[in-house]
Structure formats: structure tokens, C-alpha cells
Structure 1
Amino acid sequence: MSKLKYYLIVAPLRLAGALPLGLAQKLGRLGGQLAWMLGSGSRKVTETNIRLCLPELSEQQRQALARRSLAHTGMTAMEIPLMWEWPVEKCFGLIRETEGLDLVDQALASGRGLILMAPHLGNWELAGLFFSSRYRMAALYSPPHVPEFEDYMIRVRSRLGSELVRGDRKGLSRLMGILKEGGVAGILPDQSPRGKTNAYAPFFGIDVRTMTLINKLVQKTGANALVTYAERLPDQQGFRIVVTEAAPGLDAADPTTAATALNQSVEKVVRRIPEQYQWEYKRLRHQPEGRPNPYKDTDKS
């Protein structure tokens, strides 16, 4: 049964991975438009997040941004099989521009490790593939809900030598060792963390549960930290790899100060291309006790 589950999951990904970029993006955009027109749960979550995080926008601007966000999230979903199934040289052919790569070289020239924070912005799979081809790199991941999918995911993400480590004690110890040796660690910083290693800090002005892992890694290894993303260019032109500096304070002794710096780092790049952020994720669901669940109505739908 496990083999059957594996093929039922992987076969559609391999079929989608045979598509050209233009067609994949058109299909993804269509899926996003359908999600909008059908009033899906994803649309409701997106509208809620944009309304709360970007109150300075007019209602018309929020609706337009929400619609574009769903289209871009649909494109990301259809691009991921390409990043997993295409030959890596073909994937790299999609990168038309780069910005800020000198920041990576400067950080590693210090002899210390580097944490690359890659929010759910643009195509984070392409960003991970790009940096794993250039540096000794490990990436933190959470095991998928379907165990049969994990082997496949590890194989495609590590085909250039990147090491995938689980977010458990053993994995974090390995991540720390790589940083101490001057390597690179890739982390998605904008997930709502589980467990006790977190703090509440403002994200677009709203206090939410935020990971303190990066703060601990910086303190214990002396690693540098930067933010990166792969921006989707218009008209199926490809992508731009961008690296930018993180907000100061990630090494602060106070976890809340460090968590605030982390969220500021994410917020800064999201504001650059807000339509390419995954607003469909319930980032605001864990707030300090007593705060209402902003997704209460969407959870019922």
C-alpha cells in the first residue's frame, strides 16, 4: 500500500514536471483565478491576512492584491514540480538576474557560517536549488504528513548535495555543526512554530508566535544571517534571485527582540513584491492568549 501511495503522489508531480514554464504558470494562474471566483477558503484567508496586515490599502487595492496573490500562489504550486523534475541546468536557465550575491560572499569570507532566511515569497524552491549548487548547504525541513512522500522530497531537494535535516534535536545539532564549520543553512522563517522555542513578536503590526531558532543558532554559532528569495519576472521571463540584509537584532539576548528583527526582515522583502507572498497561509493563527482567531469564519467554511 505504501508503494501505491508513493506512486499516486509522485506520478502527478512527474507529469506536471514535464510542462514548460509558460504553460505551468498559465495553469497555475488559472487555478488561482478559480479559487478566487469560487470563494474558496484560500481566498478568505488571503483577504483576511491582507486586510489585517496592510490596513493602509483601500478596499479596492486589497481585493486586487488578494486576487493577484492567489494567481501567484497557483503559479508557485505549478512551478515546484518543474524545480523537482527538470534537470538542474534547465532550472538555472530560468534565472535571468541576480541581486546582492556579493552579500553572501562577504558573509562567508568572515569565516563564519551563514543562515539564509527564505520566506514563502516567489519561488523558494528555485532559491534553495540555486544556493545549494554554489555552497555547502543544509536546509531545515518538517516531515510531510504523508510519509511516503518524504523520500521523494529529500531526493529531489538534495540532488546537488544539499543536506536536508529534520527540525528535531538531532537535526538541529547537525545544522549547528554545519554553521560552525562555515557552511550555509537555509530556513523558512515565516512559519508559525510549534513547541516551546518561540516568542510573540509583531508581524505587520500584529503580535504572532515567531520562531526563536534563528536567534539561538546565531548566538551559539556566531553565524551571519541574510534574506533571500526568487522573484517571478513578468510574462514567463523567468526569475531574479535576490539577497538582502536582515534587520539588526537577530543576535539579541532577548528572544522577543530577536523575533521582532526576524519578522521585520520578512516584512521588508514582502513589501517589495506583496503579490508574490503566500498570503494563503494562516500566519496569524497563533496570537497571545485572549486574542480572537482571525480565521474563525474561514475555519468553518
Structure 2
Amino acid sequence: MSRLVIAVFWLLHWLPLAVLAPLGQAFGLLLYVLVAPRRKVVLTNLRLCFPELSEGERRTLARRNFAITGRSMLERGLAWWAGPARLRAMVRIEGLERLNALKAAGRPVILLAPHFVGLDMAGTRLSMEGDFVSVYARQKDRVFDRWLYHGRSRFNDQLLLSRHDGVRATVKAMKAGRPFYYLPDLDYGRKESIFVPFFGVPAATITGLPRLARLAGAAVVPCVTRILPGGAGYVLELGGPWADYPSDDVEADTRRMNAWLEEVIRTMPEQYYWVHRRFKTRPEGEPRIY
């Protein structure tokens, strides 16, 4: 079955993006109907994070989320097989000069990349600009694992570490000139996490961003991926480095990360990775949410 899915992805990647995009959206809406457990997770997350919306508005937002997620899934083949010229035309990078200036100055860099559904495409496009370091989680399915790994490592000399490689290897890579493509906004359990607000709800949040920034002396650069309507492609926005970060207060720094994340999500709430059980880990004594 896995090989059949990969073959379908390969066939689809030949289609123009203007054709592939609506196919992906239709696929996502089909998933909304068929995959009830994940639909329930998305609606629960939206109820917690957007209590000001009506139930009907949240269901509309959930359908839009599934549609854009389906699109990102079917467009995965482009990250795996599209040629460099097509990828450059499809994914526009804004603010690359900021990253290049930091690298030229010898400053270690952390690219703070939230889980927007287009991040894999952006990661592949960004890898065309040089050597980076990121964390890669091995997939249970060996066929999918092979192609996911290929998509993230096909250009230049990418360093993909596992979570078990530890902080030292990541800091060493950053100090050697590799920006770190970092995704710290999921629920990774209690270990190395603290509870800070995310849309007003206590969320187990790892403190890796301020700790790594301090250990490596790294600049934190916002790295946001937006999927554009229709066949317009993607835009990867690299912001300016955060000022006065990290501070001497790890909790305050982690709160700042979540507050910034909320602000960005509100600009395109349908594109966030709401299928993740973000509030799975609860403070002691609180009931389960999902």
C-alpha cells in the first residue's frame, strides 16, 4: 500500500500547481468526512483556542483546515521530485538577506518554524540555500521514511539529527555555521516542558528555544510558511532576529514564544497543525481533554 501511495504522489507531482491544489483541497475535505477521530481533535482544539467563535464558525474553520492540510499532503511529491527551478518558482523566500547577514557575521541562528502545514515544502526550498541542521523523527513505515528523509536531504549537505542526539550535537552544528530549523511548538510530554498559556490554555511547552539560544549564543529568527491560494505557491517569511532574547527567565521566554505563535496563527488559523493533540499533557489533577 505504501508503495502505491508513493507512486500516486509521483504521478501527481507532474501536474501544474493550479490543478494539483484543488485536488488536494478536495482530498482534505474527504478526510474531514471520513477521519472522525482527527476531526474531533481539530474541533476540540478550535473550541479551546477560539471560544469567541460560534460552533458553526469553528466547523467551517475545521473544514478549511482539512482542505489545506489535504493540499499540503498531495503536494508533498513536489518537495521530493520537483526540479530546482520549479521549486524556486513555487516557493518564494522573503527576508533571506537577514539570514545571510547573520551567517556572514558568524552568528549561530535558530529558525523558529511553527507547525504550519506547508513547512515541509518550505524546508526543502530553504535547503537549496545552504547547509542546515534539523531534527528528524524516523517513521514507522520504511517506505514513507525513505522518501521523507530524501525530501529533507536532497539538496546540499543537510544534517538531520534525532531527538536522542541531544543538545550538544545541535549546538555544535549551529556554531559550525548551520542554521537550526527548529519546530518546538508540539506537546512532547512532561520531560523538559513547563506549562505556559497557549491561547489561554495551559500547554506543556518545551523550553528548548531559550536554552538553545543561550548555549549557542544564537539569534532567533521567525520562519513562517504560508500556502497561497490556488496555484500561487508558497511564501517563506524570515523575520528579523528577536531583540533581548533570551532573557534570564526561561518561563518568560517560553511564554513569549507561545504569545508570538498565537499572533501568527491568528493571521491564518486554517493553516496550523490542529490535528495534533496539543493539550494532551495536562497539569496534575486536571482531566484529560481528548
Deviation at 1:163, TM superposition (A): 1.8
Deviation at 1:12, TM superposition (A): 4.1
Q: Could you tell me whether the CA contact under 8 Å between 2:27 and 2:70 is conserved in 1?
A: yes
> RMSD in angstroms over aligned alpha carbons?
2.4
Give the aligned partner of residue 147 of structure 2.
152
1:32 is aligned, of 6, 28, 35, to: 28
Mapped to 2, the partners of 1:118 and 1:163 lie a distance apart of 17
1:84 is aligned, of 80, 83, 90, to: 80
SS at match of 2:260: helix
CA deviation profile, 1:182-220 (whole Å, cap 9, x unmatched): 320101122211462222111111111112222221111
Give the aligned partner of residue 199 of structure 2.
204
Q: Identity rate of aligned residues, in percent? A: 31
- What is the number of equivalent residue pairs in this alignment? 289
Flag the 1:195–1:60 CA change in 2: closer, same or farther, 3 A: closer
Flag the 1:265–1:108 CA change in 2: closer, same or farther, 3 A: farther
Flag the 1:54–1:195 CA change in 2: closer, same or farther, 3 A: closer
**What does residue range 219-298 of structure 1 map to in structure 2 within 5 Å?**
219-245=214-240, 251-295=246-290
**Amino acid aligned to 1:65:** L
SS at match of 1:83: helix
Q: Could you tell me whether the CA contact under 8 Å between 2:219 and 2:242 is conserved in 1?
A: no
Matched, 1:51 2:43: no
SS at match of 1:268: helix
Mapped to 2, the partners of 1:121 and 1:222 lie a distance apart of 26
Flag the 1:133–1:224 CA change in 2: closer, same or farther, 3 A: same
Flag the 1:38–1:196 CA change in 2: closer, same or farther, 3 A: closer
Q: Could you tell me whether the CA contact under 8 Å between 2:113 and 2:182 is conserved in 1?
A: yes
Flag the 1:199–1:59 CA change in 2: closer, same or farther, 3 A: same
Mapped to 1, the partners of 2:203 and 2:214 lie a distance apart of 22
Matched, 1:216 2:222: no
Matched, 1:101 2:96: yes
Flag the 1:59–1:150 CA change in 2: closer, same or farther, 3 A: closer
Matched, 1:14 2:7: no
Mapped to 2, the partners of 1:210 and 1:246 lie a distance apart of 21
Q: Could you tell me whether the CA contact under 8 Å between 1:139 and 1:186 is conserved in 2?
A: yes
Mapped to 2, the partners of 1:216 and 1:147 lie a distance apart of 33
Structure 1 window deviating more from structure 2 (97-106 vs 176-185): it is 97-106
Q: Could you tell me whether the CA contact under 8 Å between 2:280 and 2:288 is conserved in 1?
A: yes
Structure 1 window deviating more from structure 2 (64-73 vs 248-257): it is 248-257
Unaligned stretches of 5+ residues in structure 1: 296-301
Deviation at 1:68, TM superposition (A): 0.9
Deviation at 1:169, TM superposition (A): 2.8
1:64 is aligned, of 43, 60, 67, to: 60
Structure 1 window deviating more from structure 2 (102-111 vs 219-228): it is 102-111
Mapped to 2, the partners of 1:254 and 1:85 lie a distance apart of 44
Q: Could you tell me whether the CA contact under 8 Å between 2:112 and 2:220 is conserved in 1?
A: yes
Flag the 1:223–1:247 CA change in 2: closer, same or farther, 3 A: closer
Unaligned stretches of 5+ residues in structure 2: none
Q: Could you tell me whether the CA contact under 8 Å between 2:219 and 2:241 is conserved in 1?
A: no
